[in-house]
Amino acid sequence: MTSLALADLLTALSLATDLGAGLPLETSLRTCRIATHLGARLGLTGGALGAVYYAGLLRHLGCTAWAHEAAALVGDDHDLIRTFEGVDAGRRTAVAGRALGRLARGAPVGRRARAVVAALTHPGAGQRLIAAQCAQAEAFADDLGLAAETRTALAQMYERPDGRGGPRGLRGDAIAPAATLVHAAQVIEALHRHHGRETTLAELRRRRGGQLAREICDLAIADAGAVWTIVEAPAALEAALASEPAPRLTVAVERLADVALAFARFADLKTPATVGHSPEVARVAVAAAHHGGWASDEIERLRCAALLHDLGAVSVSNQVWDHRGPLGAAAWEQVRLHAYHTERILARSSVTAPLASIAGAHHERLDGGGYHRGARGDALPRAARLLAAADAYVAMGERRAHRDAHADRAGELLADAAAGRLCRDAVALLLAASGHGRSRAALPAGLTEREAEVLGLLARGLVSKEIAGELGIAPRTVKHHIEHIYEKTGVSTRAAAALFAARHDLVAAG
């Protein structure tokens, strides 16, 4: 086999983007099918319809871009997206009603009040979220090698015909047809899921020509029976695969790692503490496998599994990942389930199914004390054992919300091996292969070495004073470095800086 069906791969991986947005699994699959059906009815074919299909499938590919900031604002990034999905943001009363009726609904009264007040008194937050999501989705679609039409649709997926959308406030014909279709499809899917058929039809009539394009609303209303069949179909993944328009896209087998890298960055950007984590895990794991003389096909499976091992981490709210104290039992269950989600997502595609048992076992331990299965000893293949050691090694070198980076990673890894938690052979291979530092290639955008260091720490969520302390320089000097970084890279927010750092491999462990 020299090529893989791209839809087979991305329909499964779209499930991770649903989890990242805190939405039910297969939300993106239903959105994709609605948009593609309506696009075909409007006469789109070929690449134009393909852009609708892939933009609908990947519309949540940017949902990790502003998760850290969203959680800092209201406490729970998933809750923020769920609260306002499908709302007509052009109506202030609708936005206020959603905030008062749904935001932080299960939280204690005081926390809920703070979240609602924060949402309603920071009207620019929605535009910043939109801008970050669109920029990240467009960038990762480029990394995946998708067509310019698809990338444009993702960049414009929150624009509105009346010009009240974002991030650029485009209106009417200035918005790509694929973007208008995807926008309408996600609204239809959300309205139907929350309110049912009749309310969806009523809202389409009301939003016609404002939030949504007239022609699309008229078609969806006239063809409502077919739309309900799509939305209510039980086998969304299989139906989405079957509905890919011709010509069907493929990706060379050797590019599977490139696709995995794009989704690794998507997962790692969930929280500043993990920016660059998965590519670094893949690097050290592959280096160890090469050191051990493993066969090339096994090394490539390990590489892809390592890149995708934390895909399920996006299922956990930043309220948990960014928590500075001990986690309660409920939060720990969410954390333990992220490995399960990784395994189940990868198992849904024939392309990634061989990686599922490796990637999903990255927190397993030989003594049965790991998760999510509590597997022991011989139940874990050697690739899974090496991945577990590599993940532990890299994570120990990263500062997390609840702890500082570990000072002696090698010593702690050896202690875990001696105690029977990690595989002795895997640890020995990894430490032998990691004995030398990594040389850095030429830096992008004309960044200096110091600016690259500052950028890496900024991407991890450190503020100027903390960066100054880490590097032993004055806060004013850090401020000047950040100004130069923003100017050189063309970004203006931490989220955009983190995306730039991740795409250019400027955030490594250690």
pTM: 0.93
3-state secondary structure of 212: strand
Residue carrying structure tokens 């309205």: 191
pLDDT digits (tens, 9 = 90+) for 45-70: 999 999 999 999 999 999 999 999 99
Give the dihedral sign, CA 227/230/231/232: positive
Report the alpha-carbon distance of residue 493 to residue 227 in Å, rounded. Answer: 39
Segment (H or E) for 98: helix 92-102
Would you identify the CATH topology of the domain 253-433?
Hypothetical protein af1432 (1.10.3210)
ω into 108 cis (within 30 of 0) = no
Question: Which pLDDT belongs to residue 435?
Answer: 77
CATH number of 444-503: 1.10.10.10
Question: Which pLDDT belongs to residue 103?
Answer: 96
Domain with CATH 1.10.3210.10 in the chain: 3-62+133-248, 253-433
pLDDT by residue, tens only, the chain of 510 residues:
789 999 999 999 999 999 999 999 999 999 999 999 999 999 999 999 999 999 999 999 999 999 999 999 999 999 999 999 999 999 999 999 999 999 999 899 999 999 999 999 998 999 999 999 999 999 999 999 999 999 999 999 999 999 999 999 999 999 999 999 999 999 999 999 999 999 999 999 999 999 999 999 999 999 999 999 999 999 999 999 999 999 999 999 999 999 999 999 999 999 999 999 999 999 999 999 999 999 999 999 999 999 999 999 999 999 999 999 999 999 999 999 999 999 999 999 999 999 999 999 999 999 999 999 999 988 999 999 999 999 999 999 999 998 999 999 999 999 999 999 999 999 999 999 987 444 456 789 999 999 999 999 999 999 999 999 999 999 999 999 999 999 999 999 999 999 999 999 888 543
- What residues contact 219, with CB distance under 8 A and at least 6 apart? 38, 41, 42
Alpha helices in 322-397 (DSSP H): 329-347, 353-359, 382-396
Question: Which pLDDT belongs to residue 26?
Answer: 97
Report the alpha-carbon distance of residue 206 to residue 51 in Å, rounded. Answer: 27
Report the alpha-carbon distance of residue 211 to residue 196 in Å, rounded. Answer: 19
Residue 314 gets which letter from DSSP?
A: G
Segment (H or E) for 209: none
ω into 167 cis (within 30 of 0) = yes
Report the alpha-carbon distance of residue 135 to residue 64 in Å, rounded. Answer: 11
Please tell me the CATH superfamily of domain 3-62+133-248, with its number: Hypothetical protein af1432 (1.10.3210.10)
3-state secondary structure of 444: helix
Q: Could you give the maximum distance between any two Cα atoms of the chain, in Å?
A: 68
Domain with CATH 1.10.10.10 in the chain: 444-503
